[in-house]
Amino acid sequence: MATVVFYEKPGCANNTQQKLLLAAAGHSVWAKNLLTEAWPAARLRPFFGDLPAAQWFNPSAPRIKSGEIDPARLGEDEALLEMEKDPLLIRRPLMEADGRRCAGFDMIEIDAWIGLQSLLPKRDLETCTRARPGKSCLESMP
């Protein structure tokens, strides 16, 4: 089983469920606060792999929901600069295990990567459950 460094937004219900799923599959989860880590571009970029820059963003981030930032209009350098200034923009969780990094919680990819022991839940564990029109799950952040 893997040791997973799991960068989360503390209090996020989906991140809690994701960590529980990883632990139930036998992995050790080392949770860290995504919002208090330093994210210079050279450290953050490897988490996104081949994803287009627009997919690096948390679509529930207040600055995205308000239209202040349009991820589709930003190049990689601009995206990384904005995320360094505002970690709420970063798609989460960020995870590291066995020398690999990823952003988001694509259960199929994670199962292929480190294994989830056939514990795949029926519901999506990446999309914010509190996101409703006009309401962001990030609004509960202290």
Burial class (CB in 10 A: 0-12, 13-18, 19+), 86: middle
d(CA 112, CA 117): 10
d(CA 73, CA 55): 12
From 12, 102, 128, 137, active-site residue: 12
12 catalytic per annotation: yes
Residues with Cβ within 8 Å of residue 99, at least 6 apart in sequence: none
Catalytic residues: 12
